[in-house]
Structures are given as C-alpha cells and as structure tokens.
Amino acid sequence: MDVSSFLQRIGLDAPVPLNRVGLATIFEYHSQHIAFENLDLIRGQNIIIDPTTWYTKIVHQRRGGVCLEVNGLLGTMLRKMGFQVDFLQGRFLSPQLELSRPYGHVALRVHLDQPYLVDAAFRYAPLQPIPLTEGTFEDKVGTCELRECAPQSYDLIRHMQVNGKEIACYRIFPEAVTLKDFATELEFIQHDTDSEYNKQIYVSRASAEGFHYMRDLQFSSWSKDKVDRSVCSREELQQVLQEKFSIDASSFNL
C-alpha cells in the first residue's frame, strides 16, 4: 500500500506535516473524494477484513466502501504516514439514547497535542477532526456535541442548523480495538435478513458546502442553510452516483 498513491487518490500531491493542520488537510480531502457506499452489499459481493483489499478497491478501482473499509483504510494509511491512530468501537444510538448492536461503527482516535475523533464514513459525523472530549464543535452544517456518558465514553449528537433537529448518532468507547473485532458485525450487515444495508442503497460523501446523501433513489444535498431533495429514477441512478459521488457503477446491475 503506497502512501503517495493514496494521497493522489484523495487529491493531494504531497505529504502533509504530522500535526493538527496536516490531519485536518487529509481529512478534508479524503472526505470529499471517498464515499461511504454499500453497493457491494447490494450486489452480493463479499467484503473481507483486509486493508490491502480495501486499498485496491478504494485507490485503484476508485470506489468507496462501508465504514469499516473507509475508516479502516484511512486509519491504516495515517499510521503508515506516522500518525498514532487507534481504532474505536461505536454503537449507534436511538433517539432515546438506547444502544444498538456492538461494533456497529468504527471511528478513529488520532493522538496529537490531544486525542482527536476522526470519522470519514458517517454523514452526521463532524466534518473535521474534533478533540475527543466533552464539548460542542462547529462545522459546515451545524454543531456536533460530545456528551460524556461514562469515563472517556461519549455520545455524539448532531445539531442541524438548517432544520433545528438534534440527531443522536453513536456512542464511542475509549478502548482501542482491532479491525478483526468487527468481524461479527460485518457478517451481520452482509448476510442477515435483519440488516438494512443489504437491502437498499446507502451512499454519502462530504461536499464543499456540507454533504450529499442517497438512500435508495432519494438524493439530498445538505448545507448549513438549506437541504435540496430529489428523487431519481432507476435509469438515472448511475448518473447520480457518478456526478455526486464519483462512483462509476456503469458495470453494476443495480
């Protein structure tokens, strides 16, 4: 896995310093070039826990991936660049702050002058690295809040300025984990009949103004001040994937 090729994939032509500015630069370019997408799950293509395979898919095939692939590869490449990175378990939250299945999400903790939360694979996550401590943090679409719910465990809450909604995202736990720890949940989302991710399309990617999101054939574009929504036809799907998410799905049967 070549760092230079990875940087070129996300639109950077030179290494960055191993500091907060460098991390923010990598995150900004990465999040606007690489999408969360579950197209392989819809197509019945098996996903394995192997960063080299993710590298081929994301860098050479210019695809995105599920959170384990996107954040897993990002964390792996940050380590190769010299950053100190931990993989963390996230568990999605209901509006009542009830926890979903273990290991439902993977995020990164990057150690610099203080620990930073980095998540490039969830549309409501902060659109920049934020300190992994209790507080509120502004970004392009509103405010993210980390609420400490246990020692060094935090609930991520998104406050959307455009509609005033408060969205409970996930709980992040402090223990560093390995990518292999997500094997059971990866099997679930791929093959279980209760998984929503193997039934309909989910795609999201950051944009210069906020983020784009697609669920099945419903597309939305979010910024701080407005949300534009539209519905595409099955015939228009490949064009939307290419234009809004830079995913060439012309050879896919979707």
Q: Which residues have a catalytic role annotated?
A: 67, 105, 119
What number of other Cβ atoms are within 10 A of residue 213's Cβ? 21
Spell out where 61-192 has E strands: 84-92, 105-111, 115-118, 130-131, 135-139, 142-150, 153-160, 166-177
Structure token pair of residue 168: 């409970």
Give the rounded distance of the alpha carbon of 140 from its chain centre. 16
Radius of gyration of the chain (CA): 17
Structure token pair of residue 98: 């009830």
The number of helices, as runs of H, and strands, as runs of E, in the chain is 7, 13
| Rounded-to-integer distance, Cα 248 and Cα 35, Å | 12
| Rounded-to-integer distance, Cα 132 and Cα 233, Å | 41
On whether the CB atoms of residues 67 and 122 are closer than 8 A, the answer is: yes
The residue type at 246: S
On whether the CB atoms of residues 246 and 214 are closer than 8 A, the answer is: no
